[in-house]
Structure 1
């Protein structure tokens, strides 16, 4: 029987070839162990504290499976059959608490995994993606037109930023990304907005003829756990554009400004999580050159 240590070592061995940007996978902690072939999974219950702002993007409770094991991408002839993943998921789901959403995150390189998960009622929720900071910044076509500018965020923008984040949250909720009608939603959005305007060096807003059209910001250093192998990683916490001005270049201008700031700061990588099924968000980030690394799947 494959041990968790051996499965983790095996996953890290093939990960460095497929996704050099990903940080090494660690030994997960959990309540129940599952195994199938050379795959091992550790299940645990997640209960975000309602007072934590990030809880607005997660269900109140979920049962999560962390999978470790050898390469199932098909590149390694000694890799386990994709059937092992099916057996692992079936074993986990059979013993999971009734009525609790199930979720797991897998590298996008696991060929065959989407079919296995979809056949069992799972849907992609969010994707973690990265973009290397390299080359020279390109001038924004959006800001070259009259009445449009990018500027530093100010304290007067707090309510407007909260409104933009509320639009983003609603769009993600509609796309079933995990965002939900949290009882403290407005309070948490205002808290996020306050943190954005309190550290203006990390944020940029787009203004369209005096209207607050969009906002983008980096997470403050130390507030988001690093998930890549790069020491100089910057995490894009939010990029939100008001619905009436989407698909007009505002978002690309905001991300371009963040990229320029990251380059000036000596960063190597930009990282972001986006709604995998959000019809506006997912195509946008791919157009900006972000490469998907892992995807979170969930079954309600």
Structure 2
């Protein structure tokens, strides 16, 4: 941390908002240069989450991280998607030495985690999301023991393979409420596969929680859930959230409107026959027809099927979530 001073604040950043605005402008300039689809960096909400600041020898902020803690009790839906104790930091790193500033920010964050009385045991994690193309952050993240775990990928309108016809004996159609059991079964099969990569933790309540969410989606017209059937047997699906149901992704990308694909799966014995490509082609055709500018989705970095498939469909990394477990394994 040579040359940098760290401080935790629960109010305005040091030296007032003018220095903070300069830091955000520096981040915005770098983001715009590395990836035009990154959004404008947003100011952390002051007096909401404690801010960890790293300043140079003149007191100018070089990095700010908003720290947030989430704890998921048994039975909560969020428990399916991660360990119970989650410590997040949202970094804004600028100046002429972003690598060094991020390194200092992570060191200071480790110090803060060590001071916590609880929540850093074996079922905890330290996490942050970093722009995928902002490569200046990779070495400090690795030095501090963090690993990339999930990618948020983006597809611009009309990107990817041309529309595909379904294989013989396979039909693609929009699902409705009568397909609830099939949809839940296919989603749970995807969950079971994703458990191999440490990004999903199936709970006793997961199937019922999935059923409730699926029932709401299938009761809408259209559902935006497409089913693939081979001779009447469901063998795959793609589940899309159109922009009015995917508002949470809008701040993550510099294009609008934005949709989100939550699930895309084909049963194991039917993979490699073009069913997935045909399903996604149907979804893309609907999205492009409705003028959706970008579509986003998440996949596990270590999943050997997801990355190659989605890249071929026209997606590329936009954000990467880095993680270390337990939280105090952060170096």
TM-score after normalising by structure 2: 0.79
- 1:296: which partner in 2? 321
1:196·1:217 contact (CA, 8 Å) conserved in 2? no
Report SS of the residue matched to 1:101: strand
Report SS of the residue matched to 1:65: strand
User: How many Å apart are 1:166 and its aligned residue?
Assistant: 0.9
- 1:148: which partner in 2? 170
Q: Which whole-Å CA distance do the structure 2 matches of 1:243 and 1:4 have between them?
A: 51
- 1:75: which partner in 2? none
- 1:23: which partner in 2? 39
Matched, 1:62 2:86: yes
User: How many Å apart are 1:194 and its aligned residue?
Assistant: 1.4
- 2:181: which partner in 1? 159
- 1:130: which partner in 2? 154
Aligned pair count? 290
CA displacement, residues 12-57 of structure 1 (integer Å, 9 cap, x when unaligned): 2222232222222212242241326522222111235767645522
CA displacement, residues 144-192 of structure 1 (integer Å, 9 cap, x when unaligned): x321111110222111111111121122221122x21334211211123
User: How many Å apart are 1:127 and its aligned residue?
Assistant: 1.0
Change beyond 3 A, Cα 1:136–1:56: closer
Report SS of the residue matched to 2:84: coil
Matched, 1:46 2:70: yes
- Which residue, 183, 187, 201 being the options, matches 2:208? 187
2:38·2:254 contact (CA, 8 Å) conserved in 1? yes
Change beyond 3 A, Cα 1:14–1:68: same
User: How many Å apart are 1:59 and its aligned residue?
Assistant: 2.6
Report SS of the residue matched to 2:83: coil
2:159·2:314 contact (CA, 8 Å) conserved in 1? no
TM-score after normalising by structure 1: 0.87
- Which residue, 277, 281, 288 being the options, matches 2:302? 277
User: How many Å apart are 1:65 and its aligned residue?
Assistant: 0.9
User: How many Å apart are 1:107 and its aligned residue?
Assistant: 0.5
1:128·1:295 contact (CA, 8 Å) conserved in 2? yes
Question: Where in structure 1 are there 5+ consecutive unaligned residues?
Answer: 71-77
- Tell me whether 19-28 or 132-141 shows the greater mean CA deviation: 132-141
- 2:144: which partner in 1? 120
- Which residue, 199, 203, 222 being the options, matches 2:220? 199
Q: Which whole-Å CA distance do the structure 2 matches of 1:31 and 1:168 have between them?
A: 37
Larger gyration radius, structure 1 or structure 2 = 2
1:34·1:88 contact (CA, 8 Å) conserved in 2? yes
Report SS of the residue matched to 1:231: coil
- 2:112: which partner in 1? 95
Q: CA RMSD in A?
A: 2.4
Report SS of the residue matched to 1:206: strand
Matched, 1:211 2:266: no
- Tell me whether 127-136 or 204-213 shows the greater mean CA deviation: 127-136
Q: Which whole-Å CA distance do the structure 1 matches of 2:28 and 2:73 have between them?
A: 31
- 2:193: which partner in 1? 171
